[in-house]
Amino acid sequence: MTEAPRKVALITGITGQDGSYLAELLLEKGYTVHGIMRRSSCFNTGRIDHIYRDRHETGVKLYLHYGDLCDATNLISIISTVKPTEIYNLGAMSHVKVSFDMPEYTADADGVGVLRMLDAIRAAGLEKEVKFYQASTSELYGKVQEIPQSETTPFYPRSPYAVAKQYAFWILVNYREAYGMFLTNGILFNHESPRRGRTFVTRKITSGVARIVAGLDKTLYLGNLDAKRDWGHARDYVEGMWMMLQQDEPDDFVLATGETHSVREFVEKSFGYAGIKIQWKGPTGTVDEIGVEEGNEDRVLVKIDPRYFRPTEVDLLIGDPTKAKNKIGWESKTSFEDLVKEMTEHDLKMIRGEVTDMDEMKDTK
């Protein structure tokens, strides 16, 4: 009898939004999953606690290892020990605005960190066996060159984050060509969920709306309301990551919904799902613009704080996912409306104490 092929995945960034959904998906598919987590003085495993079992229990399929993309020795040691068949490199300093405050660290973790992973695979002698997914990003398109953006659209990164990710993109292409490794860039447009970090604009809005409804805050402070993004659901996108690694040949794919919406629209919809109609006053797109409750202008719900502006902004992202649809059969399943609704309702329930972040995670199982 022939043995079933080993299915061992290693995920960097397993404690993040995407890492948690991907770990769930791979466990469901029968993989043994290893994750690299950073040492922290606080618990940072909240998004995966619901799938973690103590090593002393039976049937354990999820293992966590301390590590960091800035530590080559550690990466070599983990990869040599685990001998993964698939690696998903999701770890990164992923906040675009923060990358302007920490450009060097961002270059190290998001750019050189990827090189460290690839060289660790080679050091472990696994370059002909491992399939590798790199979390590339629509931020590579930066300043608009063409719309919609596809795999052939030229890059024009607009932040230290995007520049670091561009290095990562090309080192993958280079190692693929130089060493024949199975290395795939997923160029993913924004994807969100109730597990999204609260400093990203979508979750900042939905949690801010919930706090206003509960009377804990009066006003939500935001930056550029006119930025447009192609927003999908993280759960749909991690499936696309897995699908890319099931192909016979490595390639690069855009994952997107093909629709774009402004931050302003997201704000309007989220307040709408919370039962509040918002109306904009003052000069559009300036720091003096405000959002008030319709019929109650004294209630100022949104103000602009220029602290949230970026030194260089990405104005418009809209992806063309045709290649992913045709070659790997992937399609985004969640509409913009359903995404905003799910996130807003989750945060409203949370503020009422009806669910915790942990409950949301159990719900999705």
Where on the chain is the footprint of ligand GDR (CB under 6 A)?
Answer: 94, 96-97, 137-139, 190, 199-202, 204, 222-224, 227, 229, 263, 308, 310, 313-314
Options 52-60, 117-125, 186-194, 340-348: segment touching ligand NDP (CB under 6 A): 186-194
Residue (130 or 196) nearer to ligand GDR, CB: 196
Tell me which residues in 206-245 interact with ligand NDP (CB under 6 A). none
Residue (229 or 235) nearer to ligand GDR, CB: 229
Which of 137, 206, 224, 260 touches ligand NDP (CB under 6 A)?
137
Residue matched to tokens 């293992």:
63
Neighbour-count burial of 268, counting CB atoms closer than 10 A to its CB (0-12 exposed, 13-18 middle, 19+ buried): buried
The answer to whether residue 322 is catalytic is no
Dist. CA 154–CA 17, nearest whole Å = 28
Options 62-70, 119-127, 309-317, 335-343: segment touching ligand NDP (CB under 6 A): 62-70
Cis ω on the peptide bond leading into residue 154 (within 30° of 0)? no
- The entry of ligand NDP, ligand GDR, none near residue 90 (CB within 5 to 8 angstroms by kind) is ligand NDP
**Quick one: how far is CA 138 from the chain centroid?**
11
Residue 197 near ligand NDP by CB under 6 A:
yes
**Dihedral (C-alpha) 114, 119, 120, 125: value to the nearest 10 degrees?**
140
The answer to whether residue 293 is catalytic is no
- Give me the catalytic one of 161, 260, 268, 360: 161
Q: How far is the CB of 135 from ligand NDP (least distance, A)?
A: 3
- Please give the radius of gyration of the chain, using alpha carbons only, rounded to the nearest integer: 21
The answer to whether residue 151 is catalytic is no
Neighbour-count burial of 129, counting CB atoms closer than 10 A to its CB (0-12 exposed, 13-18 middle, 19+ buried): middle
How many beta carbons lie within 10 A of that of residue 5, not counting itself?
Answer: 7
Dist. CA 101–CA 150, nearest whole Å = 30
Q: How far is the CB of 137 from ligand NDP (least distance, A)?
A: 4
